[in-house]
Amino acid sequence: MRDVTVLDDDPVAGLQLASLRGTATSPEHFRHHARRLGAMLALRAVADLPAARGTVGSPLGGAPSIGPGRTIVAVPVLRAGLGLLSGVHDVLPTALVGMIGLERDAATLQARRYYFKVPPLDGTWVLVLEPMLATGGSASDAVTALDAEGAEQVTVLAVVATQQGVDRVLTDNPGVRIVTAAIDPGLDEQGYIVPGLGDFGDRLFGTPH
């Protein structure tokens, strides 16, 4: 599917994902692998980003330079999305940052927005950082809010997704892209991705589930 990129053929991304899935991975190492995978997802998301060309002064004279031709805005969905942000900044250090706070109702599995603050988005490329694209409700709500702010291109970065979540996002928001490390078989009765990797936020911050 043109709007979905899965890094399932990338052994380096696969190594990071396997470590994130592993039950023995400590919060410290979980954060480390999330950062690395965040960088890989971000690089794939901007592979066709328009370029801006110029010159830079080197010690021995002027040299041609190339950089992003659009402002990039990273928008982590709180709190789990924060785990990918440092990796995004490793490869896109000029990216601006917005924040969206969403909570999932345990009974309905629907997302409720409690926080929204983003920089001006007109003409920008936005990376929505939503590590677990389960039902797709949270990501879809985030993308809908960002589209209303005038972004040129919106891409959802996920560590693990389900086909249900992918379909929900693309149906609700035509033109959006998704980059993920894996698409897992489905959800359990609590709405968790199976096999997934558990609660990303809890494992990231070491909080009990």
- Cα 65 to its chain centre, rounded Å, is 28
Q: Are strands 99-104 and 125-129 parallel, antiparallel or unpaired?
A: unpaired
Which residues contact residue 179 at a Cβ distance below 8 angstroms, ignoring those fewer than 6 apart? 4, 5, 7, 41, 44, 45, 155, 156, 157, 158
Q: What is the pLDDT of residues 65-111, one digit of tens each?
A: 999 999 999 999 998 999 999 999 999 999 999 999 977 666 766 66
CB-count burial class (<10 Å; 0-12, 13-18, 19+) for 170 = buried
Which residues contact residue 100 at a Cβ distance below 8 angstroms, ignoring those fewer than 6 apart? 75, 76, 77, 78, 113, 115, 116, 118, 128, 142, 145
| Biggest CA pair distance of the chain | 64
Please check whether residue 175 is in contact with residue 187, taking contact to mean a CB–CB distance below 8 angstroms.
Answer: no
Residue 49 is encoded by which pair of tokens? 């980003």
pTM above the 0.85 mark?
A: yes
Residue 136 is encoded by which pair of tokens? 């797709």
Per-residue model confidence (pLDDT) at position 102: 79
Residues with catalytic roles: 104, 108, 199, 202
Q: What is the pLDDT of residues 15-34, one digit of tens each?
A: 999 999 999 999 999 999 99
For residue 57, the surrounding DSSP H or E stretch is strand 51-58
Q: What is the pLDDT of residues 113-132, one digit of tens each?
A: 889 999 999 999 999 999 99
Domains of the chain listed by start with CATH number: 4-47+72-205 (3.40.50.2020)
Question: pLDDT at residue 146 above 90?
Answer: no
Please check whether residue 79 is in contact with residue 138, taking contact to mean a CB–CB distance below 8 angstroms.
Answer: no
